[in-house]
Structure 1
Amino acid sequence: MACSARKKPVAPATPAPATAPVAAAPVAPAPTVSFPSAPPVVYPVMLGIDVLEETGFRAVAGKKIGLLTHQAGVNRRGESTINVLRRAPQTKLVALFAPEHSLSGQVKASVNFGDEIHTPTGLPVYSLHGKNRKPTPAQLKGLDAVVIDLQDIGVRSYTFTVAMRYTMDACFAAGVEVIVLDRPNPLGGLKVDGPSLDKELMSGVGAFRVPYVHGLTIGELARIAAMMPGVLDVPESVRVKGRLTIVPMRGWRRSMRWPETGLTFVPTSPMVRDFSAVIGYAMTGLGCEYSGFKHGVGKEHPFRGLSFKGKKPEQLAADLTALKINGVGFRKINGTALDGKPASALYVEITNWDAWEPTQLSFELMRLACRYNPPNPFAALNAQETRSFNIHVGSMAWWNALKRDGAKVNLEGFRSEWARLNAVYQQNTRRYWLYQP
């Protein structure tokens, strides 16, 4: 059975800001969460789409629906959610919506694409990463609901949660129900790390004011958007009337990383092809942003193979090892560069998951870049590069300190403060949890 969020109307209010810290207390009642009785176990985890089908498609019965999904939107047996919903009785799937990387998942990061026709079904595919970032009123006209089935990776700057939140904005404004089919956070639901997003840095790579590694599922983020004033970019009078239904997973626990789910990882984007890349994205994605560090060897080891022009892997390993970064180790790897020439890099291994703080390496790479390329490569960024750096990292306080102090920036002080704030965040977000440890 799905868990449904239906709120009573309240008196019209002044439109709320587009966001609010997650520590704010909700004023709307929490959605009722009702889990189906457990069926015979086939796989350790049943995804939201599996639970929807197992419960007879009740959440979509009698409805004309759109679907926001991508190539990783599959059930536990690997069947596309598009095909699963097309066979749902008394349900009519009439439109598809595609996030960044397109429905196929093959379009490169940050590259816009247009609307198209889904050849296998003849359905229109509306791009949410082109001239529009959210469904238009015309695209939503006649729909009873938009179903969202997106595989997120648990990192704030990965844009699928942005696509979900923007779609919720549009649907709530149009009076269209949102149905989220929940999926695992590949990093689990207990690992939280890095700075939270400053309000002024909200953008297409950050629509929730959460830590960089946020520890929530996409369904739990949807609950925050629906329940907390100021997260959605709609007037408060619209938010409280909005309809959100979450179809939760069955069998998933917060302590589970992706390998424990028993599910096959379907690539979510061209560079995130497996769980190894998910770990790397959380760990080095920020550190390779304008620092001079590169990740990968040719097309292999994305986000895990580090290199810096003019530095041998052995020197890089010595410098990084001296920093005593929690939970990681380093080893040299060889491969072939994009130009066909031999290349080598430093592979980042996780040696202690519990001790690992995903973003620590990224911020150490920023400091190290200032040593390798003095006086300070970040101080030389132009306005567009500065904006890009900041909307990914999320903290103007960090930017100001890094630009001013370079290699001498007090990272330890920042990490201590982030850890303190993240402990408060974890306590305050427990009310939105759909799953226990």
Structure 2
Amino acid sequence: MVATGIERLGRGGHPSLVGKRLGLLANQASTDRHFVHGRDLVRAAYPGQLTCLFSPQHGFFSEKQDNMIESGHGIDAVTGLPVYSLYGETRKPYPSMFADIDVLLVDLIDVGTRVYTFIWTVVHCLEVAAETGVKVVVLDRPNPIGGHLVEGNILRPDCASFVGRCAIPMRHGLTLGELALLCNRELAIDADLEVIRAEGWRRHMCFPAIGQPWVFPSPNMPSFATALVYPGQVVWEGTNISEGRGTTLPFELVGAPFLDHRQLLDTLRTTDLPGCILRPLRFEPTSGKWMGQACAGFQIHVTDIDAFRPYRTSLALLQALFRLYPGQFAYKQPPYEYEFERLPMDLIIGDRAVREHLEAGTPVVELERGWHQELDEYQQRCRAVLLYD
């Protein structure tokens, strides 16, 4: 059975925290296996030491639906402590927010995908911690989609943004703690950083094997099935194609009113898309893109977790849509995650040249062959921060 970092902290046994003023970066999903929230576990283990809370994108209760929907500062009704929003008037904590803490505890659920913004909030916190002398302790959790597979192109510097600041691929294969260690090192932040490991996790283990309940970390990440497809399906945020927001299956669904199932499946028939079934269907979003309109599209059913390649699958679909519907398919225009000039799709993919190759018709599997060397180099770089077998 896997014990998360917050569960290990709840047992006590970390004398370096005794007597320290503590802050906690968390949201409503930051619980133990019995659904006891991290703030309550910290207060029980270190009475009187928790002084404030911090929340990432979507708010402390994960209630904010989409990007650039901000949450304000507030007071936690349970503890009476201030809650500082790090996705509101600022995405980087002001040094004054760290004035009453000696240690920032971090307990957030990452989903193994570069564009999921929680890690970049952690990186902002590391930068301010380095400036103010505050220590950061990441209470680690398993990567729900496993730590044994990586996929995608490496982020280019000219595409760095709040959906990616370090040179990593879309499916990065690290835990939040490992990724924080990598960013602290490679971005030369040099904060005082410690990771309390998840006990009993191995890199090949995906979420169903760890014996923990799924508590949704953001409003459109309702299940493990969502997390599995997300490293590919997130690309639709950069288009006018629905990624299933406004339905009960966000990111598992993809579609638009102008799609034709047979055309798409015929176009994709020569592309190897292992480990999944693209099941034709229609759906009608109740909010977001194409609200109230019937969309033709697919549900992605993952049939083999280890064989499935989410990024390849969604890029192949993207390329097919670009080719088949040149007059109807469109890229989303800025702003996107507080970037007001660059094309959102370039920020999501992380390399403008990849988008241009897709538009030119270069097969996705051919693009993947070109990524092999830099993925090998990335995995070599990661060796210094790996915490699990």
Correspondences of 1:372-387 after superposition (within 5 Å) = 372-374=324-326, 384=340, 386-387=342-343
Equivalent position amino acid for 1:272 in 2: M
* Corresponding residue for residue 420 of structure 1: 373
- Quick one: distance in 2 between partners of 1:281 and 1:229? 25
* Corresponding residue for residue 38 of structure 1: none
1:346: how far off? 1.5
- Quick one: distance in 1 between partners of 2:307 and 2:128? 41
1:364: how far off? 1.1
1:65 aligns with 2:28: no
1:315: how far off? 4.1
* Corresponding residue for residue 31 of structure 2: 74
1:218 aligned to 170, 176, 185, which one? 176
- Quick one: distance in 1 between partners of 2:263 and 2:329? 20
Give the TM-score normalised by the residue count of structure 1.
Answer: 0.81
**2:257–2:293: 8 Å Cα contact kept in structure 1?**
no
2:306 aligned to 354, 369, 372, which one? 354
* Corresponding residue for residue 317 of structure 2: 365
- Quick one: distance in 2 between partners of 1:206 and 1:200? 11
1:304 aligns with 2:260: no
1:206 aligns with 2:154: no
**2:166–2:187: 8 Å Cα contact kept in structure 1?**
no
1:83: how far off? 0.7
Give the TM-score normalised by the residue count of structure 2.
Answer: 0.90
1:280: how far off? 2.1
Structure 2: gaps (5+ residues)? none
- Quick one: distance in 1 between partners of 2:368 and 2:180? 28
1:246 aligned to 195, 219, 236, which one? 195
* Corresponding residue for residue 189 of structure 1: 147
Distance 1:420 1:326, change over 3 A: farther
**Identical counterparts, % of pairs:** 30
Count the aligned residue pairs. Answer: 380
Distance 1:201 1:336, change over 3 A: closer
CA deviation profile, 1:173-225 (whole Å, cap 9, x unmatched): 10001111001111110110011111122211112221110000011112113
- Quick one: distance in 2 between partners of 1:423 and 1:194? 12
Structure 1: gaps (5+ residues)? 1-43, 233-238
Distance 1:120 1:380, change over 3 A: closer
Q: Which moved more, 1:91-100 or 1:355-364?
A: 355-364
2:87 aligned to 111, 120, 129, which one? 129
Equivalent position amino acid for 2:349 in 1: V
| Larger RCO of the pair (alpha carbons < 8 Å, separation 6+) | 1
- Quick one: distance in 2 between partners of 1:123 and 1:152? 25
SS, match of residue 13 in structure 2:
coil
**2:240–2:331: 8 Å Cα contact kept in structure 1?**
no
Correspondences of 1:20-419 after superposition (within 5 Å) = 44-89=1-46, 92-110=49-67, 111-226=69-184, 228-232=185-189, 239=190, 242-286=191-235, 288-296=236-244, 298-333=246-281, 337-338=285-286, 345-374=297-326, 384=340, 386-402=342-358, 406=359, 408-419=361-372
1:170: how far off? 0.6
SS, match of residue 45 in structure 2:
coil
Distance 1:374 1:340, change over 3 A: closer
**2:202–2:388: 8 Å Cα contact kept in structure 1?**
yes
Equivalent position amino acid for 1:325 in 2: L
